[in-house]
Amino acid sequence: MKAAVIDNFGLENLKVKEVEPPKTQKGYIRVKPELAGINPLEYNVVGGKLLYGVNPMPHVPGSEIMGTSLEDGKNIRKGDRVVIYNRIYDGTCEYCVSGREYLCPNGGIYGVVSNGGYAEEISVKEENVFGIPDTISDYVAVSLPIDALTAYHALKESEARCGEHLVVYGASGNTGLFSVQLGRIMGMNVTAITRKKYLMEFGADQTYTMDNLPENLNADVLVNPLGGEFFGDSLKHMKRRGRMVTFGVLNGPTSTLHIGSIYTKELKIIGSTGGSRKDFKEIIDITEKNQLRVKVDKVFPLEEIGKAMEYFSGSREGRVLLKIN
């Protein structure tokens, strides 16, 4: 079967090759990937720019996958449309038994600490394979494991509530679009920080660019996946007792903070990563009920994954996806 493989880090080393298909294992389901997402995670896996190790090498990336089940399981039937919950965990540590398996110290992200889904066939633990209703499109389904789940879990961790003011930095990004839509569904007043005008179509009440942020912009909840200089600067746009939730370092892993503003205003800075299987089931149900949407820019065949990665790193107007099968 074909798979995208890196022998060494670097986009120039990403090639589509023939590899051995996965072996049948008890408790696992073989899945034929149909679509795969490209996110900063996969881009950084290829480039070797992650905060954690990549294993094994040579390596097959791909952490956001939807496809078709190739066999029956306890809860999945052959031919079902499925998405993959992309966390690997041991099921026995204190985090796993408390329902936070995404924090398992003996696990990690599927496609990072294991080979991933940029392949014509994969084998995944059945408990990580979730059926998808036919009312959810393929494009939305493939965006659930990282983009939607990350945004949903982050808002839960921030204890976002109806009537509050939500400010989303990087609102046109993959997680930003879901943060805006989820905030709207929750009954929040949503401000999107972006240069893209189409955010109003996804539920933003108002949009601003970094260049024209009003002085009186005050958030109860602020979603900031950007990092870098925008992390510290965004503190001035939080109300007293406001909560910032962060899950990314797109503009850099370090920032300068005014510590005085944190304690004098009793601000909370909350780290968030991924989400649990419970969260994943919830976001699937929310998506079906509310018909969450994505904006797709371009879909590349697996054979053009190098071009897809280059395109992703440039200026784009929505998601960049891979058509696997």
Q: Where are the domains of the chain?
A: 2-147+275-323, 159-271
> In the numeric block, which tokens belong to residue 181?
């839509």
pLDDT in tens, 140-179: 999 999 999 999 999 999 999 999 999 999 999 999 999 9
Long-range contacts of 70-77 (CB under 8 A, 24+ apart): 70/29, 70/30, 70/31, 70/32, 70/121, 71/29, 71/30, 73/29, 73/126, 73/129, 74/126, 75/126, 75/131, 76/29, 76/126, 76/129, 76/131
Q: What is the pTM of this model?
A: 0.96
Question: In the predicted model, what is the mean pLDDT of the chain?
Answer: 95
pLDDT in tens, 127-143: 999 999 999 999 999 99
Q: Which CATH class is domain 2-147+275-323?
A: alpha beta
Order of strands, sheet of 189-193, starting from the edge strand that comes earlier in the sequence: 206-208, 189-193, 165-169, 219-223, 238-246, 268-271
Determine the length of the chain: 325
149-157 helix and 277-290 helix, angle to the nearest 10 degrees: 110
Specify burial of residue 312 (Cβ count, 10 A radius: 0-12, 13-18, 19+): buried
pLDDT in tens, 269-303: 999 999 999 999 999 999 999 999 999 999 999 99
Q: Supply the pLDDT for residue 228.
A: 86
Q: Specify the fold of 159-271.
A: Rossmann fold (3.40.50)
> In the numeric block, which tokens belong to residue 170?
């990087």
Strand partners, 119: 3
- Distance CA(19)–CA(4), nearest Å, equals 9
Tell whether the model's pLDDT for residue 250 goes beyond 80: no
- Please give the residue that has the higher pLDDT: either 325 or 52: 325
Q: Do domains 2-147+275-323 and 159-271 have the same CATH topology?
A: no
